[in-house]
Amino acid sequence: MIRRRPLLAATVAAASMLAFVAGPSGADETTITVTIAGGNLTIDAPATVTGSGGINSTVVVDVPTVAIDDGRGSLLGWTATASATDLTTGGGDEVGETILATTLLWGTDSITPAEGQTAISLPAGGSLGVSSVIAVGAPLVSPGEFTVDGAITVPVPLNARAGEYTGTLTTTIS
């Protein structure tokens, strides 16, 4: 008579060892996908600002709440600038009906970061006849939302005609 029990026990033990060494009998893989929505770098200025004064005076026009939002997630930083056109009465090219943009001066009063954001320093401002820096967000510390409050100083010339002068303030961010 042949004894098969020890052989059977050895075979079962070997198979168990092989299953243990080979790992689990089934596996599956799952791809992980995370979508990060990127934002934009935007600037939003008031639609209209006004001031008034007399001939041979200085008019200060407040420009409140220029909103800057850096939602790009890039930490690259940004520069906000402003420029303006000449202020004119629209009455023609007669002397005294234009206040030159080169005489308009921007001054930044404050830059307020959103809660949890890093404050940034105030730039010097300058003539609105060319692009004048109104705010700078430094790389690595300036993502998020900021509010810039400023003012435009308008020197009214001695030969200015009475009337309403209009022009355009353009704010840009890059």
Given a cut of 60, is residue 1 above it in pLDDT?
no
Q: Number of C-alpha atoms within 13 angstroms, CB side, residue 65? A: 4
Compute φ and ψ for 17, nearest 5 degrees. Answer: -65, -40
Q: Where in the chain are the domains?
A: 41-173
Domain with residues 41-173, CATH architecture: Sandwich (2.60)
For 99-156, write each residue's pLDDT tens digit. Answer: 999 999 999 999 988 887 776 777 878 999 999 999 988 888 788 899 999 999 999 9
Average pLDDT over the chain reads: 86
Share of the chain above pLDDT 70, in %: 84
User: Which one has a higher pLDDT value, 81 or 13?
Assistant: 81
d(CA 151, CA 66): 11
Is the alpha carbon torsion for 156, 158, 164, 169 positive or negative? negative
User: Which one has a higher pLDDT value, 168 or 143?
Assistant: 168
CA distances to 7, 24, 31, 151 from 127, rounded to whole Å, are 99, 74, 56, 12
For 47-70, what is the mean pLDDT? 95
